[in-house]
Amino acid sequence: MMTSKNMELPDNVVQKYLKALIGQFYKILPIKESGEPSLGKYMDSLQREMIGCQSLIVALDNDELYLSLLAVLQYLIENDCDTNTVKCEVFKAINICKKLQKKYGAEEV
């Protein structure tokens, strides 16, 4: 995949990132369940990383699935959701990540 700086990224780098993204979304659940006050900071940081990645990897810039992931995260950041809603949205995000893996040739986790 090409970066915004016209450099080629090895496919396995993108695959590893998408795999890591699943773990990062999943991590939201135990943080929410424990009542940890750092959840907002964690999600803000994840969002900044994802926006940076979207700007870096040309293919993700206009990808509707990636935008959907960002929208799910934005909703969780802006709304004080109950644990069941967070769980539902986290698993929705994980499914979107898996679709991205298939789309970009990554192996299933």
Q: What is the pLDDT of residues 17-72, one digit of tens each?
A: 999 999 999 999 999 999 999 999 999 999 999 999 999 998 898 899 999 999 99
Report the distance separating Cα 105 and Cα 101, nearest Å: 6
**2 and 9 in contact (C-beta within 8 Å)?**
yes
Find the farthest-apart pair of alpha carbons in the chain and give their distance in angstroms, rounded: 43
Q: Is residue 6 part of a domain?
A: no
pLDDT band at residue 109, thresholds of 50, 70 and 90? very low
> For residue 11, what pLDDT band results from cuts at 50, 70 and 90?
confident
| The predicted structure's pLDDT at residue 38 | 96
Domain boundaries, position 74: 22-32+39-103
Residue 14 within any structural domain of the chain: no
What integer pLDDT is reported at residue 47 of this predicted model? 98
Q: Facing residues of 8 across strands?
A: 2
Q: Please report whether residue 75 resides in a domain.
A: yes
Of the candidates 57, 49, 44, the one whose C-alpha atom is nearest the C-alpha of residue 13 is 57
Structural domains of the chain, count? 1
Enter the pTM of the model: 0.88
Tell me, yes or no, whether 13 lies in a domain. no
Question: DSSP 3-state assignment of 79?
Answer: coil
Q: Is the pLDDT of residue 98 over 80?
A: yes
User: Does residue 10 lie within any of the structural domains?
Assistant: no
Instruction: Please check the confidence at residue 77 and state whether its pLDDT lies above 70.
Output: yes
